[in-house]
Amino acid sequence: MSKSRNPRPGRFSGTMLSFAAGIVLAGALISCGGKGNESEAPAPAANPSGKPVDSATAGTVTGMIKLDGTAPKPKNINMAAEPNCAKEHSTPAQTEDVVPGDGGTLQNVVVYLKGDFSQYSFPPNSAPQQIDQKGCQYHPHVLALQTGEPLQVVNSDQTTHNIHPVPKDNREWNESQPPGAPPINQSFARPEVAIPVKCNVHPWMKAYIAVFDNPYYAVTGKDGSFTIKNVPPGTYTVTAWQESLGSQDQMVTVGPSESKTVTLTYKPNSGD
């Protein structure tokens, strides 16, 4: 009986599969290293050694964001999979993509000035801005703050959340927050409009945080209005940003101690 070699397709397939797996793993490890590795050094402020704005000559930009037409109907959120969330709502919670305000206006629109502020310095507020997880929704839905300004995340629910901003220009982070846990304190180092925030435990939860390196921003409330104070004289672009409808621009020139009013109008399918 001749001694014959067993056909070894196994070596072939085992080697092939192991080699392929090794290539895949090596490629992944080489290219891994996400935004968590970004430098923590904050971007420079508008001008740290700049002069403060002269309040004697500063002006104001006020205005309204209007909606020309009917807002898209919000969708109901199904929280049945999480009883601790469902019991907080006697009627189904709804999405907040486009929230109409009073009198044909829009809520939750970020309005900000674009211009040359390089000669001024704007130290951020030390009092934290707060975002609360209540009824398994974020409150407020849209928040604006300055670079370096503290953000405090609070969990008022009886369930665990994880707060996960997904920025493009800032450091990404993802922290869990069980019920009763202390507030999470964070800040953002770079301007960005706007950072989506989500909870991977409850996928319907969504918020936006807009970050600026100057204090010339506002978020419209129930009446759709905004007021931006202490604006140095000059020509600026007033930009409105809405998460679904996109951005709108308008130029404005603010004279010394002048107050200017700007109205921007969205159509339900308008925007960038």
Query: Of 81 and 127, which has the nearer Cβ to another protein?
Result: 81
Q: Are 222 and 102 in contact (CB under 8 A)?
A: yes
CB of 153 to another protein, least distance (A): 13
Query: Of 60 and 160, which has the nearer Cβ to another protein?
Result: 160
Cis omega (within 30 of 0) on the bond before 45?
Answer: no
CA 21 to CA 12: how far, in whole Å? 14
Helices and strands per DSSP (H, E), number in the chain? 2, 16
CB of 95 to another protein, least distance (A): 5
Cis omega (within 30 of 0) on the bond before 140?
Answer: yes
CB of 20 to another protein, least distance (A): 6
Positions in the binding site for another protein (CB under 8 A): 1-14, 17-18, 20-21, 24-25, 27-29, 31-37, 75, 77-78, 81-82, 84, 95, 159-160, 162, 164, 172, 174-176, 178, 200-204, 206
CB of 175 to another protein, least distance (A): 6
Structure tokens at 119: 């000669």
Q: How far apart are the first and last CA of the chain?
A: 80
Query: Of 36 and 182, which has the nearer Cβ to another protein?
Result: 36
Query: Of 102 and 175, which has the nearer Cβ to another protein?
Result: 175
CB of 14 to another protein, least distance (A): 4
CA 55 to CA 36: how far, in whole Å? 40
Query: Of 55 and 78, which has the nearer Cβ to another protein?
Result: 78
Q: Are 159 and 81 in contact (CB under 8 A)?
A: no
